[in-house]
């Protein structure tokens, strides 16, 4: 039977991890509000759907997903990605897309997949996967808008940049996660001994 100290230590760890996940998700959501899509377009005249996520998703999302995994453990990065998407959906339709009305569900699923693939492989896999999912569904339901506004060369360039952004975000997140893990004190919980 576990002692009260073991139960308290586990509760402390769980609450601390939840607070960290919630805080990282809030940082990820609020950082994505400071989008510089128009600046990018004015400088390079390249247009792509969800351009802020494509170019800066490594800094908006991947860093926080990786820090959560490094500090808290497996699947906490997926929780951060899910919470970021939930915060975004509470504020407005998914990236302003209201046709089809259920497009936010696609966004949520793409972020869950992004979190999982980032934890499993790297941000250079997770972010482009989310981009492809969002682009594909947007194209499927708005083919005329997609064809009229976005060129193939711009999509290829921005897709490659999403891989780079995801990789850089993953690298920085791993470094920061290792540094932060040294400062966060999770109580050591001794395993219960069944022979007692």
- d(Cα 166, Cα 135) in Å, to the nearest integer? 17
Whole-number pLDDT of residue 31? 92
- Whether a cis peptide bond, with omega within 30° of 0, leads into 66 is no
The total number of residues written for the chain in this structure: 196
Domains and CATH numbers, the chain: 4-183 (1.10.1760)
> What is the C-alpha separation between 64 and 115, in angstroms, rounded?
10
Which whole number is the average pLDDT over 171-182?
A: 95
Structure tokens that stand for 127 in this block: 């972010």
How large a percentage of the chain has pLDDT more than 90?
60
User: pLDDT band at 4, cuts 50/70/90?
Assistant: low
**Mean pLDDT of the region 147-168:** 93
Which candidate, 71, 70, 90, places its Cα nearest to that of 26? 90
Residues 78 and 38: their CA atoms lie apart, in Å, by 30
Q: Look at residues 94, 108, 87 and name the one whose alpha carbon lies nearest to residue 26.
A: 87
Closest alpha carbon to 95 in 148, 151, 32, 47: 32
Mean pLDDT of 122-129: 98
pLDDT of 193 reads 43
Question: Does 54 or 195 have the greater pLDDT score?
Answer: 54
Average pLDDT over residues 82-109: 90
The answer to whether the CB of 166 falls within 8 A of the CB of 122 is: yes
């Amino acid at each position: 039977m576990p002692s009260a100290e073991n139960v308290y230590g586990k509760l402390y760890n769980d609450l601390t991890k939840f607070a960290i996940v919630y805080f990282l998700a809030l940082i990820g959501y609020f950082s994505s509000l400071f989008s510089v899509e128009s600046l990018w377009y004015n400088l390079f005249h390249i247009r792509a759907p969800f351009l802020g996520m494509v170019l800066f998703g490594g800094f908006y999302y991947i860093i926080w997903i990786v820090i959560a995994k490094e500090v808290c453990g497996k699947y906490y990065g997926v929780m951060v990605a899910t919470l970021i998407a939930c915060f975004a959906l509470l504020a407005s339709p998914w990236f302003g897309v209201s046709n089809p009305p259920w497009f936010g569900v696609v966004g949520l699923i793409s972020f869950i997949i992004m979190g999982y693939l980032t934890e499993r492989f790297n941000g250079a896999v997770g972010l482009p996967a989310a981009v492809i999912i969002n682009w594909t569904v947007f194209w499927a339901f708005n083919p005329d808008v997609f064809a009229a506004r976005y060129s193939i060369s711009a999509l290829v360039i921005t897709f490659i940049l999403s891989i780079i952004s995801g990789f850089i975000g993953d690298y920085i997140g791993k470094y920061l996660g290792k540094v932060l893990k040294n400062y966060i004190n999770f109580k050591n919980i001794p395993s219960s001994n069944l022979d007692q």
